[in-house]
Structures are given as structure tokens and as C-alpha cells.
Amino acid sequence: MRNYLGIDLGTANTLVYSRGKGIILNEPSVIAIDQNTGKILQVGLEAKKMIGKTPSNIIATRPLKDGVIADYDVALAMLKYFISQSVGGFNIFKPVVVIGIPTEATEVERNALKEAALDAGAHKAFLIEEAMATAIGAGLNVEEPSGNMVVDIGGGTTEIAIISLGNIVLSKSIRVAGDEIDENIIEYVKNEHNILIGEKTAEKIKMEIGNTFENEENDSLTIDIIGLDVLTGLPKNIPLSGSEIRKAIKKPVSRILENIKLAIESTPPELLSDVVSKGIFLGGGGAMLKGMKELIEKETHIRVVIADEPLTCVARGAGLVIDKIEIIENLSKNR
């Protein structure tokens, strides 16, 4: 009768996996609150639609930053809502939840997330490193004595790890991912075109013409956007090209690549041999960025495999690990 939930409480989106049912919730990690009354107005997709369009008394905000809780009370309210939606209203059996967390989150950040889950109505709450959850969600046999390399490019962080025998052998967690790519697009459009755009427009640009690998197909991508001309104070429509956006996001993409290479350089030779044989497994929203697979392959000389349904890997892995509770216990002991 008890629900077992795997939760990817991401900076950009929250996904919930229910054992036996699969992904049952996929919503933006956004909550809209009336500041005068403290009342929650909307959560998830409807709240995201309100970003940048609210009156002064209403704030639509994302309570997580860089993959961890930035505003505890608001994150708690959002988590309560998502857990309630997932268990289907009244249920006398509180759910057991496993939540993904960045590898290099501090002890304070870990405790805050665990306490938030318990306060939000969980019977028990476990944490699992997002890289491990990604590997399990991608279908890798993490318990065998063989090296697996995973790279999860999320909204707030990029998680890079080498996994063997149910443990993380080495890992890198950098707070450079989808959000910073969006910020770089906003900055580029402002500096190069004197146009102000918001985060939703930047995200649309990234999803439609964002790319990291130079070829004719990516260069031919175009999009028309409307922004505020900083010189006239009036709206202006401008076209953007794929080559422009590749240039705009070069800095954060280069940092991700640099850390992937550093992880490879630090990998023990026997495990590296396994990685070369199996390939690098790529998950998260960044896996869907055009040319990311090809760019990593070019820079590392290692085959890259995009996980099935890369956006849901962490949630699925967190849910599936409930049947492998010893993995969570190992991670807790060896952290």
C-alpha cells in the first residue's frame, strides 16, 4: 500500500518516478506566491507561465539554485505539493522517497533536502548522488566490477562520475549547466544586439537553435525573437542564427568539456579501458543540446551514448534504487 517514489528535484524541473508506474509527474520547479498573504497560487507549469508577468504582490520563483535548496520554506511548499500530487491525495501510508542530489552538495545542503522531504510528508527519505541515479536510470549495471562513466547535464549542475562496484570511484560536480547556458544567451543578445530578453525566451532559443558543434545543419538554424531595444525602449524583432548561439554558449560548454577531460585523466587505467569500451553515457537536458554528443566524442576520442529518455534518468534511477538499498547505504558510508 505504501508508495515508493524517486524524485529528481531539479533546478529547472521536478520529476517523480513511482515504482510500478514509471514517471508520474514532470513539472517546472517553479512556485507562484502572493507575498501579501503567503498563499500559494500556482505550482509547476502554471507557475512558470507567470514568470516575468506578475503584479508586484505576486512572485513566481524557483526555490532551488545550482541543484540545491536556496529558499527552504518555498522549496518545502513546492515539495509538499509534488508529493501530494504523486500519492493521489489522502493516503494513510506516507511514501518512502529517494531524492537525487549533486555529488558535491555540502552536509548542510544534504540535511536541508532530507528534512524538507520528511516535513513534506515522506515516511523515510534517502538521498542518492545524481550521477549514480543517472547511471541506474540509464540501465547500467553499476554493481559489477567494471567502470561506467556518466555525465548528467542538468539545469543547475553538471555531474560527472566514474562508477564501479556500486560506488562512485571519482566524481566532479560543477555548477555550470542549462541555467548558465540560458544566462549566456541573454548576455550575448544584449551585448551584440542591444536587445533585452527574459529567461523563457533564452530557453526557447536554446531548445530551438542551441548547438555546440559546427556543421552546415547547425549553422542554418534560425529563429526570430522579440525583445526590448535598450536604445529606443521599444520592442524589436531580430533574427538569430545557429552559429551565433554556438558562439554565445561557448564558455559554459567549454567548462563542461574541460571537466569531462579532467575526470578522464584522473580515471584509473583499468576502469578507463572499460569506459572506452562502453562509451560515456550522457543524460540530463543538456544531452539533447544539438551537437553535444559529437563535440564530446571529438574532444575525448571516446564514443558517447545518449541515454534513453535522458531527461528522466535521475528520477528513474532514484526510484529503481529503492530495490537496491545497499547502494544508498554504501554511498552514505563512503561520502
Is 202 labeled as ligand-binding?
A: no
Is 39 labeled as ligand-binding?
A: no
Which phi and psi (to 5°) does residue 131 adopt?
-65, -40
SS3 328: helix
Is 291 labeled as ligand-binding?
A: no
Is 91 labeled as ligand-binding?
A: no
Is 172 labeled as ligand-binding?
A: no
Is 204 labeled as ligand-binding?
A: yes
Is 315 labeled as ligand-binding?
A: no
Residues 6+ apart with CB under 8 A from 102: 66, 67, 68, 129, 130, 156, 157, 159, 173
Burial class (CB in 10 A: 0-12, 13-18, 19+), 243: middle
Residues 100 and 8 sit within 8 Å (Cβ to Cβ): yes
How far is residue 290 CA from its own chain's centroid?
17
Cell of 144: 559489477
Q: How far apart are CA 17 and CA 21, in angstroms?
A: 7
Is 156 labeled as ligand-binding?
A: yes
Is 157 labeled as ligand-binding?
A: yes
Is 203 labeled as ligand-binding?
A: yes
Please state the residue numbers annotated as binding site.
Answer: 11-13, 155-157, 203-206
Please state the residue numbers annotated as binding site for ATP.
Answer: 11-13, 155-157, 203-206
